[in-house]
A = this chain, B = another copy of it.
């Protein structure tokens, strides 16, 4: 395994975790093209649950098949593949050990309309253990009227996961009592990263922030201390700093599908700003296979060459 000084340094930031949890965190960092670099690219496929199958898979119908995605993650050299229970059930026994798996424990569909943003917990830590996963995944909606319930359920899941040697990857999507634009405001994204780290997440996934400040109190501080937010790399730097001064792994989603060049430029900025990697779903699996493999490899190259 690619066991580098950088990986050892990253593991040293989690001094209170048991060796089992550190071992699985190391597996995440030591797999695929980016093994040993301290960077990671993860393929997540939860859109079938979140947006429905047609919106998710019609652009590249091969994606209706659960085998397609794990094979795509392997082919492109990803660090891990993340999905809800059903997708993992359909592949874990067949691909046992070929690539680290992350079980997304909660998921939200767009058929129901909860009073406040809220996912259902559709998998368990025991499922993750049984399926041979290296981590659990969980989504919080900071700003939601139900955020406390989400944080409290997460607390128990993190504790149970640690008991079984599993670290936690936390998806943090500010949503609810926040303006639409504010959901990706730099102050809000950085705040979400801080909350995620304080809740005990090992890896934090947020959206790339925009040059916008949502909260009046925060705006004053950003302006007073001249915290730069103009370029994407400026903002990435602020988010990473907000996650324990870079001592928690923060990775960024690609967000909505866009042109390849726009996407790669965004990745360059994320890498320049010190982002630890990308979690790229739709932008990958909705393209034809070879195109998405090429895209993911281009993304990995950018992170590999970042200083």
Contacts and interface: CB of A to CB of B under 8 A. Distances in A.
Contacts of A118: 148
Interface in A117-139: 118-124, 126-127, 129-133
A131 B98 contact: no
Interface in A63-117: 64-66, 68, 84-94, 96-99, 107, 109-115
A31 interface: yes
Nearest to A126: B159
A190 B55 CA distance: 11
B111 A177 contact: yes
A187 interface: yes
Interface stretch (A218-226, A250-258, A259-267, A277-285): A218-226
A194 B48 contact: yes
Given A52-B190, A54-B242, A131 B20 contact: yes
B197 A86 contact: yes
A38 interface: no
Interface residues of A, number: 117
Contacts of A91: 15-16
A131 to B, nearest CB: 5
Nearest to A61: B241
Contact of A22 (B26, B132, B193): B132
B112 A145 contact: yes
A197 to B, nearest CB: 5
Contacts of A177: 111-113
A165 B52 contact: no
Given A52-B218, A58-B227, 16 more contacts: A1-B98, A18-B131, A22-B96, A52-B194, A53-B190, A58-B222, A59-B225, A64-B244, A65-B247, A84-B198, A86-B244, A109-B147, A112-B176, A114-B148, A122-B199, A132-B165
Interface of A: 1, 3, 11, 13-27, 30-31, 48-49, 51-55, 58-59, 61, 64-66, 68, 84-94, 96-99, 107, 109-115, 118-124, 126-127, 129-133, 142-145, 147-148, 151-152, 155-156, 159, 163-165, 174, 176-178, 187-188, 190-195, 197-201, 215, 217-218, 221-222, 224-225, 227, 238, 241-242, 244-245, 247-248
